[in-house]
Amino acid sequence: MVRLLLLLLGLCTVTPPLFAQAPAPPASGAAVSTAAQPSAGALANAEVLLFFVRVDAADALQLSAFMRTPGYTIFKETGPLVSETGPLIYALFPTGPSPASADVIESASSYLAQRGANRLELAPVIDFGASAQARPAARSPQAAAAASAPASTPASAPAAEASSESIAQGDWQFSGERGLLLLFVKTGKDALFTSVLDTLRAALAESPDARRREQARGWRVMKVTGNGPSGTVLYLSLLDPVVHGVNYAPSSVFAEALDGEALARAYADYSEALSSFNLIDLQQVRP
């Protein structure tokens, strides 16, 4: 499908950042969310570098010194291109002390498309895996019945609420080793979206489905500091490792875990908070 991220990044150039100056980080010990915080396995330097590479330059990039940049693991997008000319997305994840990101971006500048490259500075929000380690709690008969039913909006949910969730419906599956799920949250809906993440965390932790709990163990959510496109706030989900054959759409998790008013409310809150989304499927190309 047409990648929404590229549409939203359409005004980017090679060197300017996508996001405005980041605000000061929370004070030490301050809670970003009421949910569990990320484990020690979170990104080493809390950043991701995204490079938009010209298709005609991809082979040369593979042979360049850029591919030997120390301190980063390099991934390449495996999904379909927007057009024959690309661009191809490369993602660099820090593994420890690494060169200044500006220097890394400069080293790749001759291979980049007009959209250039961006450094996403990340603040931890929630680690679904921390909750998934615990034994699932007993669920009500209503919730169990909802889990055994097809993953669709139940009859008890008001039709208006179901239609408002249309932006977030779908089968969000990943085929690569690692995935990035980017959720663009509407201006002023930060707190509402955080509550949606808490609902999602609980639903994954309490699921009787072992595949859902496996999914949660590799799912961490981080917030990109600064302002996103059109005033949105970008939340980045790092899926590592990806569980193949499992739907990552939060709406599918809600449909399995909730029913009645609780399901309708989860749908409504999610739809109200979410502006747009994008999935990036990644395959490792250099350790």
- List per-block mean pLDDT (blocks of 10 residues) for the chain, which spans 287 residues: 39 30 32 36 70 94 92 89 78 83 92 93 93 50 38 27 46 94 95 97 95 96 90 95 96 94 95 94 93
Could you tell me which residues are beta bridge partners of residue 179? 239, 281
Contact (CB, 8 A) for 282 and 202: no
CA distances from 251 to 18, 266, 287 (A): 29, 8, 34
How far apart are the C-alpha atoms of 275 and 287, rounded to whole Å?
A: 34
Beta strands per DSSP E along 95-193:
112-127, 178-185
Provide CATH 3.30.70 ranges for the chain: 4-18+32-122
How far apart are the C-alpha atoms of 132 and 200, rounded to whole Å?
A: 12
| Both structure tokens of 192 | 């509402």
3-state SS of the chain: helix, strand, coil percent to 5? 35, 25, 40
Nearest to 157 by CA among 264, 66, 243, 239: 264
How far apart are the C-alpha atoms of 246 and 252, rounded to whole Å?
A: 10
How far apart are the C-alpha atoms of 272 and 269, rounded to whole Å?
A: 5
How far apart are the C-alpha atoms of 219 and 241, rounded to whole Å?
A: 8
CATH architecture of 4-18+32-122: 2-Layer Sandwich (3.30)
How confident is the model at residue 198, as a pLDDT? 97
* Main-chain phi, psi angles of 283, to 5 degrees: -125, 135
| Both structure tokens of 86 | 């690309």
pTM, rounded to two decimals: 0.74
